Structure 1
């Protein structure tokens, strides 16, 4: 099977800071790095490094051809990544020594996707393949509806959180992944807890507490603990977890085993500075000792 990702592609400008700046504060950074990023690109790289065949559907501007080339080098099929006249999306990321971050996001080309591009790409998908979408591109609802019609397993990573965007895709979802804050926001918006919204599989990531799977059919809850590591940068950890979970399921793993592997990958990820470029490969995840 394969994973199709309608996903963002960003240049991540990462500034190492003594602490996260407060409102009105001017603060000097100690270093600057540029990485390939965007929630979509991160998930594609993670799923590819976990061993799945991954097709990325997205867009870059004339300034972003390096990003497409890097995705290709990481094993992601970029035949459906188009070049637009809109600048490539980018993120300005401040990271403090403890690993917490602050992010300013410019969507850019990620919002310039065309329906024809999406339709043409997904016409090559097979029933049973996985489609994953996030909130950093255009055409999310159209993709979810088309994916359902084609018999794909439709997964939605509900970040950055937008209640209207989530409700637009809910009728078409098989799988919803969100963090603890987003889960609370969703419940407030629709008046139901995530496990009672009619989605077959729901995962809530809980940061240092691990992750929780809720079976939308039976209500059964399964927790997978996080691994004890010293975090230096949490940017992209959730995307790494998502990519690894989807790859594990794509390769036939049970949910518990897919989540356990994803937890190991995310634990390694937070010990590194960077985003897509430093997502661990499967061999590293399997060999890691915690």
Structure 2
């Protein structure tokens, strides 16, 4: 089968700092790097490195051509990424502290200028049983989800960054919802419902150092997947890596618990590395690391 990712593409400006700045505080960075990022791009790279076929649906500005080339190098189908001459490529300024925690400011740029025609043209090549994955860093999510359901695709929605209006519009079309513990709390507060009452048949909540939990709402069951203990260097992109590997595993026909175990290994290895899309592990990395 195949995965279609309506997702952001960002240029990541990463600053290494001693600690995350407090309000009004000025810090001198010890190091600076620039690389490929954005939740969408991170997930596409993770899906490709997990040995699944993925087509990215997105947009960049003229200065972002190198990000498209980088995605292609990593095995992502870039045929449905548009270059918009009147838009800046999305970018993120990321501060990473010595303890691995991060602080991120994002400018959406071209990511929020995707048209319904772009989405429709891409999904016209999709087949029943394929997977559509989305995040909240682009526009057209509801349109894409509606088209995907009509075509018989499974819709996986990573509800980050959290936006109550965006989530409410996409939930009726969602087959698998992925969110972290904070986002889960925000969603329940806004919807005034428990997760099991949202009408989504399958929900995965990541719990940081506690692992993750899978709510099989259709079966009325909840399963905890423990985390793998590692030394954290940088948490940036770890959630996207987890989601990408989860989606790839499901696309390759794995049962949910097997896909979750693979995603947990990928996420654990990712936090031991500095960077975002450019350092997402592949299957051989995971096998060599022998995480358990």
Q: TM-score, length-normalised on structure 1? A: 0.99
CA distance in 1, matches of 2:287, 2:204: 22
The residue correspondences of 1:92-111 to structure 2 (distance < 5 A) are 92-111=93-112
Give 3-state SS (helix, strand or coil) of 1:148's partner.
helix
Which deviations, in whole Å up to 9, do the C-alpha atoms of 1:212-256 show, x marking residues without a partner?
Answer: 100111220011111110111000000000000000010011111
The residue correspondences of 1:28-67 to structure 2 (distance < 5 A) are 28-67=28-67
Number of positions where the alignment pairs a residue of Structure 1 with one of Structure 2 = 290
Contact 1:56/1:81 (8 A) holds in 2:
yes
Instruction: Detail structure 1 runs of 4+ shifted over 3 Å in the superposition.
Output: none
CA distance in 2, matches of 1:219, 1:196: 11
Name the structure 2 match of 1:262: 263
Contact 1:4/1:55 (8 A) holds in 2:
yes
Q: Does 1:128 pair with 2:122?
A: no
Deviation for aligned residue 1:58: 0.2
Contact 1:197/1:216 (8 A) holds in 2:
no
CA distance in 2, matches of 1:194, 1:13: 35
CA distance in 2, matches of 1:77, 1:266: 23
Name the structure 2 match of 1:10: 10
CA distance in 2, matches of 1:216, 1:79: 36
Name the structure 1 match of 2:290: 289
CA distance in 2, matches of 1:286, 1:163: 38
CA distance in 2, matches of 1:282, 1:89: 29
5+ residue gaps, structure 1: none
Give 3-state SS (helix, strand or coil) of 1:63's partner.
helix
Between 1:194-203 and 1:1-10, the stretch displaced more is 194-203
